Structure 1
Amino acid sequence: MTIDTDYKMSNILINQCFDTIDLLATGAKSLRLEDIVERLDLPKSAVRRFLSVLCLIGWLEQDSQTGLYRLTLRLAVLGQRLLSATKPPDICQFIVNRLAQDSQELVRVATVQEDGLAWIAYAQGAKAGLIYEPETTAEVPLQVTADGKAWLATLTTGAAVKVVLKNGFGHPDSQGPNAVRTIDAILSELEVTREQGWALAVEEAEPGVISIAAAIRPNGGSPVGTVSVAGPSLRFGGERILEISRLISIAADDLAALWPLRRTPPAKLSITHIVDLGR
């Protein structure tokens, strides 16, 4: 077997392992071997082998009574360590809190991660009445959120299209009634965002919710993230949208001045050996 063949096989096995972790992480599921085989559409013998390996190295555990597989807390611990390493400095949280107080709505900050955004900080400014509290997720849906549009608008058209196609448009049932569903529509939205300097999403990610966002760009360069305000559409009239966009632009500039995220060159990885799970 050639080195190239070994490398391709190892990539397939790694992808299968991460697909399994992703499957079990969604809803913190506990699944039988047969369920995992069906969901991943893989041979039972192969699934059993890499499940055994994942259990051996501590990523999964199997209930001795039911035989169900579930994730250990190792993934959650690593996630917390990553958030601790990449969260904005405490002084930036002051800016987030200030924006929440001034807008009286939910404020969130997202950071650029590879070909997308991830939420890393928030502050709730609404104290009474309708209070927008979205589901807790790390990944930001790009084409249906103001944060996603604000970031995509900083990219070239080609790069933005590539990112949107890679991330996909999502399922209509999980989005708002105005969610964009075509490349032409998102490009039109990005052009408007570039012209006005901030992004707007009206009932796109969720029904009845409006969000406004701006990119955080230290020294006017590449963005490190976005800051946004979101809340019930009933409270977002035309005048208020303009006022909140002004507050967000100020907050984005303040964050950019204080918080260029630490960026270190990616380590060069070398494969010293390949574990053949098929043996």
Structure 2
Amino acid sequence: MSGVMERTLAILERLARDVRGVPLATLADELDIPRSATHRLLTELAEHGYVRQSRERGDYMLTTKLISLGLNYLKHSGVVDLCQPIMDRLAETAGELVRLGVVDVDHITWVALSQGARSGLRYDPDQGIDAKLSCTSSGHVWLSTMSEDDALTLVSRQGFGKTSDYGPAAPTTPTALLKAIRTARKQGYAITVDTYAAGLAAISTAISVPGRGAVGVLAISGPSVRLTEERMRALAPDLLAAASDIANVSGASPLFDRAYAPA
């Protein structure tokens, strides 16, 4: 890995995956960066308040500075204030996790959630990450809003999700993916089971605004033993209504102004 910016971002992204911290040697080896260069970048990040070293083991970890930046960004975007009540109502109806993703030109990033599961198995995913387009219901339904050529182009950039890394039913070929996309386009929502992870089910729909296209996605996710296909289809009208409500208020947040446009 070469380039100061590329290396710095790779370090931040790796540290974001382990709240307890990561040893310098592990960072250097995993990211293929010389240890001397890794130490220099970590020192600079620490000087600017983005990284600190634990007193106990000497491992490096993120400070709350990046978190604060992200939360302030979301606060000023207005997306949480606008959408949280709608998501909370849907989560209470579904009794499962509801997540909101926003389109940022060529990818979807999860920015808000509401947990409706009060007991038993609960799906508790990371926030602020990008949706895997090839093997998530959100990816499928968003891809269904564009031409199939554009959809395959975006997936080729991100890569197909391998069944060893994701779920056993994850589409791994363009043919399988296009079948899922066409089904989502016909229904107006996408349903997946065991594609992102074994035992996980989800139903998603696009948040579409006339004249702007799909600006986001709304998803209900949960354990497949509870969130069966029959249950998901029964929740589809509520999901579509909530997505429509968010679309109606989306003009008040600049975060919903990054819809994909073919090059």
Task: Confirm or deny a common fold (TM above 0.5).
Answer: yes
* Deviation (angstroms), 1:64: 6.5
Which of 58, 69, 86 does residue 95 from structure 1 map onto?
86
- SS of 1:234 mapped into structure 2: coil
| 1:262 maps onto 2:254 in alignment | yes
| RMSD, matched Cα | 2.7
| 1:108 maps onto 2:92 in alignment | no
**Per-residue Cα deviation, 1:119-141 (whole angstroms, up to 9, x for no partner):** 2222233445x443223332222
Counterpart of 1:163? Answer: 154
* Deviation (angstroms), 1:28: 2.4
Aligned counterparts of 1:153 and 1:110: Cα–Cα separation in 2: 16
After superposition, the Cα gap between the structure-2 partners of 1:150 and 1:220, relative to the gap in structure 1 and judged at 3 Å, is: farther
Q: What is the one-letter code of the residue matched to 2:179?
A: S
Normalization by structure 1: what TM-score?
A: 0.79
Aligned counterparts of 1:133 and 1:263: Cα–Cα separation in 2: 26
- SS of 2:21 mapped into structure 1: coil
- SS of 1:83 mapped into structure 2: helix
After superposition, the Cα gap between the structure-2 partners of 1:126 and 1:70, relative to the gap in structure 1 and judged at 3 Å, is: closer
Once the two structures are superposed, the pairs formed by residues 131-210 of structure 1 within 5 Å of their partners are 131-139=121-129, 140-210=131-201
Is 2:215–2:256's contact at 8 Å kept on the other side of the alignment? no
* Deviation (angstroms), 1:171: 4.6
Q: When the two structures are aligned, how many residues end up with a matched partner? A: 255
Mind listing any 5+ residue stretches in structure 2 that lack a counterpart? 259-263
Aligned counterparts of 2:30 and 2:221: Cα–Cα separation in 1: 35
* Deviation (angstroms), 1:84: 1.9
After superposition, the Cα gap between the structure-2 partners of 1:94 and 1:77, relative to the gap in structure 1 and judged at 3 Å, is: closer
Larger Cα-atom Rg: 1
Once the two structures are superposed, the pairs formed by residues 48-63 of structure 1 within 5 Å of their partners are 48-63=39-54
* Deviation (angstroms), 1:173: 3.8
| 1:46 maps onto 2:37 in alignment | yes
Mind listing any 5+ residue stretches in structure 1 that lack a counterpart? 1-10, 267-279
After superposition, the Cα gap between the structure-2 partners of 1:170 and 1:34, relative to the gap in structure 1 and judged at 3 Å, is: same
* Deviation (angstroms), 1:177: 2.0
| 1:117 maps onto 2:108 in alignment | yes
After superposition, the Cα gap between the structure-2 partners of 1:48 and 1:148, relative to the gap in structure 1 and judged at 3 Å, is: same
Q: What is the one-letter code of the residue matched to 1:132?
A: R
Aligned-residue sequence identity (percent) comes to: 31
Is 1:145–1:204's contact at 8 Å kept on the other side of the alignment? yes
Q: What is the one-letter code of the residue matched to 2:74?
A: L
